[in-house]
Each structure stands twice: as structure tokens, then as C-alpha cells.
Structure 1
């Protein structure tokens, strides 16, 4: 009698994970760690190049296998691997490889890990750009921060990106959503069946030890990958509007900005005379966060939930942010810091928290409470595994019930398949022509 094989999981990543560079990669790693705890056999593949901060997956026991876009070598690879579950990291990977997975491993559960709803983030970015074109006011952005879900839908619905992303969500058997706000947007406005969506927030390893005390901390801190557009916009708003207001009230204040892949345009903002320090990449984000007194996250657009704010709570560092920064993160729990809608309000809150130890300690305690209430790995990890196993048991019925997804797969995957095959043939022809010329 043969023993049942370990569940095989193939993860197709948009990039190779860099958990110390982005919250999205951190979330992927948390999911992988949960799979490893189940004893599952994991292979991670990506068509992307390897970044300088890539996680050592092999050291964790995860197989690594580079793959290529528009190349039938993937068909052989996945047929031989025969995974039970395929996890697409971001919807573009489902677009590229979903039809190949369905063709060669039709019984594999297809899961999409969204990180954030990209079409929502891009629509909000466009709304900010339009606002900046029509108004010179660099202070109050309250009109951007509290739209109803219907308004968000109307911003997104006409965009090609939303049509592509929502279609990918329908085509998958299950979608992992990091923000409950995005779940409600998809269910109420885009009419996705709720059973296609599973809330899977960040699942940090919450430390049992205490935090660095108020009197042993100094300076303000902001952290985030500079390649991520919301982070770069926040840096510019801090430089031009928020930080000058803080320095008026705290002339000796310093802001330390950390981020992976610091571009020259960011380095050019470095100005010690103004207390504005661009510090490049942080080797240990939690260490620098624990040394800071206040985390600034003045995000004017974005989606998902914010890894930098979870890190701040882990370190007991109060956060001053906007409604965009806090969205989907605290439900009815008190916010561990202050939420403001203008540069003036954010600056006033940051100064008050920086100087008032009582306020600061209260915010720190609220961060501990929020982590325990909404981000416990011991709760969300098992819930994820249970959901995946239930989906596998009922896969035939789930697919029958999701007729819209089946219809989209039928049409979109055919066109994607023919396009991919055409590109592959074109590439082969180009290589052959090059070879003939060189010969």
C-alpha cells in the first residue's frame, strides 16, 4: 500500500521574493512558511531576473526553477511536476501561465495571491494626478480619501487594467485578498461571488518581548521600496509640504528615509541641513523602526494594507498616516497613532506624539492590541490551509458554480494561447535567422 504523496505546490512569482524590500514579498514568504509547516512540497518559479535582495528559498527547502514567458518549455515542466495547487503571485502571472496550467494540470487548484488590487491603486493614482493638475493646494487632500465604494468602482470600471484584473480573479478557483475593504468592493460593486475571495492579511511573527522605551528613541522614520509609486509620492509630499511644517515646530527634528532600490531622484533630495536624510536600504527594517520615535506614512494613494505600518506596530512605533494608509487595517480597533487628511493635520499630530510621552505610550499599546486582534499568524495561517483544502475537496462543484470564470477562461485563454504560440514561433524564427547569419 503506497503512502499518500505530500501536497505539491507550484508558486509562479511575478518577481523572486525580496521580503526585506517589499511588503508584497513579505506576504508571499509568510504564505510559503505556512505551506512548509504543512509539510507541503513547494516549487517557486518566476520569469523575472534575480534581484539583489532575493530570499534564499533553497535554504528553506523550497525548490527554485526559473521559467520563461511565451515558451512551451513550461508545458513540459508543469506536466512533470504535476502540482496539486498552483499559486499565481499577481494577476499578470495568471494571464501568462493560467491557460498552460489548465491545459496540462486541469485538476490543480488555481489560486491568485493579489497583494493589493492593482486596478484600484492605479485608478487612485490617476485621481491624484488629476487633482494635482487642477489645484495648487499641496495641503488638504480630504476629497481624495473617503470616496464611497461606488465611486471607486466608477473610477476603475472603464480601465483596461480593471477588466484584466477582475477577469483573472474570476478565472481562478480562489483569490487571496489582503484587505477586507477590497473584498467588499469586489463583492458589492464588481459582483464577484464572495466564496471566490479569502481574507489573508499579513501574518507577522509577533514578538513576545517588550519595546524600546520612549526616552531611548529619536527622530522620525519613513520606509518603503522607492520603486513603489505610492511610496515615492509620499516622499515628495513629505519633502514639499509635511516636513517643513514639522521642522517649524521642531527645528532640530530629523527624518530618516529608508527604501530599497534608491534612485538618483531620491538621493538628490538628501539635505542634512533640513534634517531630511535619505538613508538608502535598511539591512534590518525592524531595527531602524525600533530606534525611531514616530513612523510617517503620508500616503496619498494606494491599495492593500501597509507592511510598513505592521512593522511599526511590531516595534511599538506609533504611526502618523492618512485614511489611505490606514485603510483595511484596523476595522473598529483604535488606531496606533493618528490619521490625518492634510499636511497641517499630519504635522500637528506628528509633533504632538513626538513630544507627549503619555500620548505616545497609549498609541504604542493600541498597536499591540491591533496586532493581537487582526494579524495573528496562529489564526490566519490555519484558516488559509483549511480554505485551500476545502476548495480542493469541492473543486468540481466550485468550478461549475463559477460559470462566469469558466466562460472567461474559454475565451481569454484561447486568445492568450494563440498569442503566446505566435510569439514563441516568432522568437524561434528570429533565433534561426540570427544563427543562419552568423553561420
Structure 2
């Protein structure tokens, strides 16, 4: 007799847009991994439909719009009775986690962190402080190389970190895209390793020949304009990095692609300077494959960078910062260059653009890096095995995570007591 299919409910911060952001792409990779297991998936979200939403129904994934602070969600989840609930970002766990606890207490709770937003936010504040203190400075090495203890000290007193890490404790497993962030949580925040699972971008390593050096032209930058680190990188390129490249390569062209292009980005377009704001790319891999260099001068951020993984997938060497390369590489040579200030970034970009031998070597290093760290054939089964093992041992797993059980208890009881208080108050009015 066949066992019923595992039921998965995903509560999405947004509807996935794999062609707009790395987070959307990663969510689709997770969903596709679940589909290969024959799992029954329902994707829900309180968000409005985006312009580039994936066609989930075509994949056999049910869709359901939900509302914040609406008791109808209780009826919906009780009827669905999922075996696994995946929260997309910690804010969804905050909003809906207590309802899941009330209606489906035995469902495995999984948090897709995407990246540590509290780390990204703290780094953004550090950049603001640095720019205020050094408005004309171009050396950002102090921002790029702090020890994990310093990152902890930057984050520990923030409201965002306390909220995010509380959500991690309340969940049974949190999917971490960055192994650096795993180390930060374990070593500095003392989060138990059993609550964290490394789940980076899951890709099929390229096997076909890449477009060669001679068939490539121009520089490319790509990224969702709604993502603050991307917008900051565009401004830094416009004001500092790109003028230095054009001094050495007067005919150079930079094509900047990004979803949800705001007027402030369009206003930066200047064909005379070779600075082209191109809006959204219908096929990001196609434009990446035609470019000779991918520029990603990120001054803050967290997680790992989908644009750099896509560059490796297309055989396009990249020039980035230590923030861009964080958690993406290993002890082998980087497929391009990593620099810490505008002159060094520009010099590396120009040298790589003109040196066919070095460029070809970087291209192959990217192929090898993808195979070592991002092979879907490795990470997909590892994710499924982690979730299934946790489900089999859920009672013991939760007992060992007493802090999480305590936080779930108080979240549920607090809302229960508040509801009872409101009902009693209404009866006396």
C-alpha cells in the first residue's frame, strides 16, 4: 500500500520570481527538489502578484493567497494539515508561526532565511557611518574584513537580530545559504548546529563549451534594484569605479540590468559615458553569456550572490569585493578578481578584460567552483535527507531545542491570552 505524499505548505514573503532575484531562484530550486520527491506542495503568500512571477501551477504546485492577521488562515491550514511548513524569511514565521503552532503543532517547521537580514542591515549601517566619517574615501578594507566577533558586536543589540534569531530558534530547521553565516550563528550567537542546514544555490554544473574571449564584449552588472546592496553598487560604479575604467578603456561600455528599475536608476543612464541602464533582462543568462566581465562592486550585503553564480554558469569572469565573494568560494583561485577599493577594482577589471589567457583561466575556474560547491545533485538529496531525518526524530529534536520550544510556547500563549482578554473586554462593553 502506497504511503500518502508528504504535504508541504510554503508561506512566501513574496511570490517567487526566479528571473528577478537570487532569492526567487533559490526558492524555485527548493520547490523543484521537493517535486522530485513527489511531495504535494501548496505555495501561499500575503503579497501582491509580481510582474515576473513563476508559473507554479504549471509545475503542479497549488497556489493560495492569504492575508495577514486573518483567522481564515487557521481554517485553511487545519484543512490542509501539512506535514512540513516552510516559512520564506523570518517575517513570515513571526506573522504565521503561532497559527501553525496552534493548528498543526506536529508539522515540521522550516525557515528559508535567504540570508541573514540582520547581518546585511548591520553592515549597511556600518557603511553609512564610514561614508559619513570619510565622505571622500575610497578604501573600504575596514568594512570588508571584520572578524565574526566584530560582526556579532555590530548585530547583537539590534532589534532585527533578536527577531531573526528568535525565529531560527522557533523553527526546527533553518536553511542557510552561506556557510559563513552558519559559523557566525554557531560561534558567536551560540545557536545549536542541529538547527542549521547549509543549502546554497543548487545548480547543474555547465558541461557545454562557453562563448570564447573573442566573442564577448562589454562589462555587465545585474541585480534587482529593490535590493539595497545592488543599488549602492550601481552608485559606486557610477561615481567611482566606472570613470576609472573609462580612463583606461575609453570605448568601454557597461550594461546594467535589473528588475523593477526606478526613475532614480534610469536617470543615471549616460550613453556618452558608456553607462547604460538597461532595465530588466528577459534572459539574464543570455546577456551574461555575451558579456566579457561581470562587475559586482558590493560594499555591503549578506548571503551569497546569485549574479556571481550566474556569471560562473555562463563562463563570465567577475570582479567583485570581499562582500561579493563571501561564502561563495573556497581555498582555490577565484574566477576573476576580488578587490577592496575603486582604483583596484578598476585596474583588475581592465586587466582581466584585455588579458585573454588570464580571462580564459578564470572562466574555467568558475566552472570548477560550481562543480565543487553548488552541484544540485549533491545539495538536493542532502536537503531532503535532513528534513526527513528531522521529521523521524522530531520529538527528540524539539526536546534538545528547549529554547525554541519555550519561545514557541510563549508566542502561542501570548496570542491566546490576548484573544481571551479581547473577548472578555468585548463582553463587558
Secondary structure of residue in 2 paired with 1:15: coil
Shift of 1:137: 2.7
When residues 417 and 95 of structure 1 are mapped into structure 2, their CA distance, relative to the original with a 3 A threshold, is farther
What is aligned with 1:431? none
Asked whether the 8 Å contact 1:171–1:409 carries over to 2, the reply is yes
Asked whether the 8 Å contact 1:70–1:423 carries over to 2, the reply is no
> Deviations 1:147-200 (Å, cap 9, x if unpaired)?
000000000001000000000000000000000000000000000000100000
Secondary structure of residue in 1 paired with 2:136: coil
Shift of 1:354: 0.2
What is aligned with 1:315? 314
Q: Does 1:25 align with 2:24?
A: yes
What is aligned with 1:198? 197
Asked whether the 8 Å contact 2:219–2:294 carries over to 1, the reply is yes
CA distance in 1, matches of 2:16, 2:422: 27
Asked whether the 8 Å contact 1:123–1:155 carries over to 2, the reply is yes
When residues 26 and 420 of structure 1 are mapped into structure 2, their CA distance, relative to the original with a 3 A threshold, is farther
CA distance in 2, matches of 1:382, 1:420: 42
> Deviations 1:280-307 (Å, cap 9, x if unpaired)?
0000000000000000000000000000
**TM-score (normalizing by structure 1):** 0.95
What is aligned with 2:380? 381
CA distance in 2, matches of 1:410, 1:220: 53
> Residues 357-368 of structure 1 correspond to what in structure 2 (within 5 A)?
357-368=356-367
CA distance in 2, matches of 1:204, 1:241: 34
What is aligned with 1:396? 395
What is aligned with 1:152? 151
Q: CA RMSD in A?
A: 1.6
**TM-score (normalizing by structure 2):** 0.97
> Residues 70-81 of structure 1 correspond to what in structure 2 (within 5 A)?
70-81=69-80
Secondary structure of residue in 1 paired with 2:64: strand
CA distance in 2, matches of 1:4, 1:313: 41
What is aligned with 1:168? 167
What is aligned with 1:134? 133
What is aligned with 1:291? 290
When residues 423 and 90 of structure 1 are mapped into structure 2, their CA distance, relative to the original with a 3 A threshold, is farther
What is aligned with 1:104? 103
CA distance in 2, matches of 1:123, 1:419: 33
When residues 386 and 360 of structure 1 are mapped into structure 2, their CA distance, relative to the original with a 3 A threshold, is same
When residues 97 and 363 of structure 1 are mapped into structure 2, their CA distance, relative to the original with a 3 A threshold, is same
CA distance in 2, matches of 1:80, 1:159: 38
CA distance in 2, matches of 1:419, 1:274: 60
Secondary structure of residue in 1 paired with 2:106: coil
CA distance in 2, matches of 1:107, 1:381: 24
Shift of 1:138: 4.0
CA distance in 2, matches of 1:185, 1:137: 32
When residues 104 and 119 of structure 1 are mapped into structure 2, their CA distance, relative to the original with a 3 A threshold, is same
CA distance in 2, matches of 1:324, 1:221: 18
Shift of 1:228: 0.1
When residues 221 and 138 of structure 1 are mapped into structure 2, their CA distance, relative to the original with a 3 A threshold, is farther
What is aligned with 1:234? 233
CA distance in 2, matches of 1:211, 1:78: 47
> Residues 32-47 of structure 1 correspond to what in structure 2 (within 5 A)?
32-47=31-46
When residues 417 and 209 of structure 1 are mapped into structure 2, their CA distance, relative to the original with a 3 A threshold, is farther
Q: Unmatched 5+ residue regions in structure 1?
A: 426-439
Asked whether the 8 Å contact 2:109–2:173 carries over to 1, the reply is yes
Q: Does 1:346 align with 2:318?
A: no
When residues 324 and 230 of structure 1 are mapped into structure 2, their CA distance, relative to the original with a 3 A threshold, is same
CA distance in 2, matches of 1:211, 1:315: 7
Asked whether the 8 Å contact 2:9–2:86 carries over to 1, the reply is yes
Asked whether the 8 Å contact 1:14–1:89 carries over to 2, the reply is yes
> Residues 273-288 of structure 1 correspond to what in structure 2 (within 5 A)?
273-288=272-287
Deviates more, 1:151-160 or 1:330-339: 330-339
Asked whether the 8 Å contact 1:96–1:416 carries over to 2, the reply is no
Asked whether the 8 Å contact 1:70–1:421 carries over to 2, the reply is no
